[in-house]
Structure 1
Amino acid sequence: MDPMNGTPTSTPTRAAEKWFGKALAEASAVERRVLDVALHQKTVAKDAALQADAQRSFGERMADGVAAFGGSWTFIGLFALVIVLWSLVNTELLGTAAFDPYPYIFLNLMLSMLAAVQAPVILMSQNRQAERDRIAAAHDYEVNLRAELGIIALHEKLDALRVDQMATLIATQQEQIALLQRLVEARTPDGR
Structure 2
Amino acid sequence: MDPDIENLLTAENEHIVKLQEIVKKTMEDENLIIQNLLNPPKEIVTRGQNISDKVARFGGSWVFIISFLLLLTVWILFNVLVPKGDEFDPYPFILMNLVLSCVAALQAPIIMMSQNRQEEKDRKRSENDYLINLKAELEVRALNQKLDVLVQEQIKVLFESQAKQMEILKEIQVEIVKRKEK
How far apart are the structure 2 equivalents of 1:81 and 1:46?
48
Deviation at 1:137, TM superposition (A): 2.2
Tell me whether 1:7 sits opposite 2:21 in the alignment.
yes
Where structure 1 has 5 or more consecutive residues not aligned to the other structure, the ranges are 20-34
SS in 2 for 1:101: coil
Structural mapping, 1:80-95, within 5 Å: 80-95=69-84
Alignment RMSD: 3.1
Residue of structure 1 equivalent to 2:172: 183
Q: What is the letter of the counterpart of residue 108 of structure 1?
A: N
Deviations 1:93-138 (A, max 9, x none): 3444101111111111111111111011011011101111221222
1:43 Cα deviation from its structure 2 partner: 5.9
Q: How many residues align?
A: 164
Q: TM-score, structure 1 length as denominator?
A: 0.73
CA displacement 1:30-87 (0-9 Å, x = unmatched): xxxxx85625894654597xx57x3222211211111111111111101110000111
CA distance in 2, matches of 1:158, 1:8: 11
Q: Aligned pair in 2 of structure 1 residues 56, 71: CA closer, same or farther (>3 Å)?
A: same
User: Considering only CA atoms, is the larger Rg found in Structure 1 or Structure 2?
Assistant: 2
The answer to whether the 8 A contact 1:44-1:143 is kept is no
RCO higher in structure (CA 8 A, sep ≥6): 2
From 132, 138, 142, give the equivalent of 2:131: 142
Q: Which has the higher helix share?
A: 2
Q: Once the two structures are aligned, what percentage of the paired residues are identical?
A: 36
TM-score, L = length of structure 2: 0.77
